[in-house]
Structure 1
Amino acid sequence: MPWTNLLAAATDDCLAALLQQADQDWSRPAHALDWTCRQTLDHLALGLMGYTGLLIARPDDRYITLFASLDPQAPVPACLDGLRIAAALLTSTVRDTPAEARAWHP
């Protein structure tokens, strides 16, 4: 199975699971993290967009700062739509990038 199919399937599975919990208290800590569940969603958006940007730019010596965040006032289902968009951008970037390309990570 191509990586892009795996990435799309993982996105669908994860977002479906999160959507089932959309009515829960997202202000509570996320498992053993210091962050809340809601802050973790924002970190996921940042990570997806950051990796997309790094895979496009492909620096070999540094992290390129690219910030992406979710509207802190948006309801959780809308934030999950934002994550779906970020994952779709990463998926299309992976599809259009040579297999040997790598994105730098600290």
Structure 2
Amino acid sequence: MGDSLVDSGDVRDVVASAVAALRTVADQDWQVPAGDLEWSCWETVEHVADDLFAYAGQLAAEEPPTDRYVPWGYRRSRPVAPALTVYADPEQGTAGLLRVLDASGGLLAAIVQVSPPERRGYHPSGVADGAGFAAMGIVEVLVHLHDVAQTLKFAWSPDPDVVARVLRRLFPDMPAGHDPWPTLLWATGRAELPGHPRRTEWRWYA
């Protein structure tokens, strides 16, 4: 990825850390809401896997669409659940769900690794290159693991170097002088920062 801020190795490392953290609570009830979300912990992890898969798909074609999503079919399992293409087989339990998350992360990492530097794909927040999709996938993992950890009570403290690079790639207007992880949680509407109230709306720049 040359001088890109975020690369395929970062995707693999972050997903591996997420899977390892989630395995420590695999025997808990994952049908309860994840943090402040309406989604259950199970649905939230499925959403992350689905995003990683979808981001890979946006770059995978020889000529990726730059004006719309690849038209995968999707559905909601209930009215307030996330709209998903990728679902885990519930009969396989949380171990199966974590395999789906791991596999989706591997797909995104592989596509980012082999994508030509000039290749671009559509995202509503801006047409992005491989590093952009890597960064967006990493943010999905980081902040939604935070949501799940609020409920299932496991340790989740991401590598500050990775978080700092993701912030530089996607959130160039962030306030300076704060640690990367609290800043990312503030940037995505999940926490306050000193002098900065919790956001009710936010976006990144793909």
Please report the TM-score for the alignment, with normalisation by the length of structure 2. Answer: 0.48
Q: Please, which of 103, 114, 117 is the counterpart of residue 96 of structure 1?
A: 114
More helix by percentage: 1
> Which one of 24, 29, 35 corresponds to residue 31 of structure 1?
35
Instruction: Name structure 2 gaps, 5 residues minimum.
Output: 73-84, 125-206
What's the CA shift string for 1:29-76, capped at 9, x where partnerless? 011100000111221121111111111132111112322211133210
Q: For 1:44 and 1:73, how far apart are their aligned partners in 2?
A: 19
Shift of 1:81: 0.9
Q: Which residue in 2 is equivalent to 1:65?
A: 71
Paired residues for 1:5-84 under 5 Å: 5-57=9-61, 58-66=64-72, 67-84=85-102
**Which runs of 4 or more aligned residues in structure 1 lie more than 4 Å from their structure 2 counterparts after TM superposition?**
none
Q: Given that residues 50 and 65 in structure 1 are in contact (C-alpha distance below 8 angstroms), is that contact kept between their aligned partners in structure 2?
A: no
CA distance in 1, matches of 2:53, 2:9: 18
| Unaligned stretches of 5+ residues in structure 1 | none
TM-score, length-normalised on structure 1? 0.89
| Contact 1:45/1:70, CA 8 A, preserved across alignment | no
1:86 alignment partner in structure 2: 104
Q: Which moved more, 1:94-103 or 1:18-27?
A: 94-103
Q: Considering only CA atoms, is the larger Rg found in Structure 1 or Structure 2?
A: 2
SS at match of 2:92: coil
CA distance in structure 2 between the aligned counterparts of 1:73 and 1:32, rounded to whole angstroms: 27
**Structure 1 residues 2 and 40: CA distance shift in structure 2, 3 A:** closer
- Which of 8-17 and 63-72 deviates more? 63-72
Aligned residues: 106
With a CA cutoff of 8 Å and minimum separation of 6, indicate the structure with the bigger relative contact order.
1
| RMSD of Structure 2 on Structure 1 (CA) | 1.7
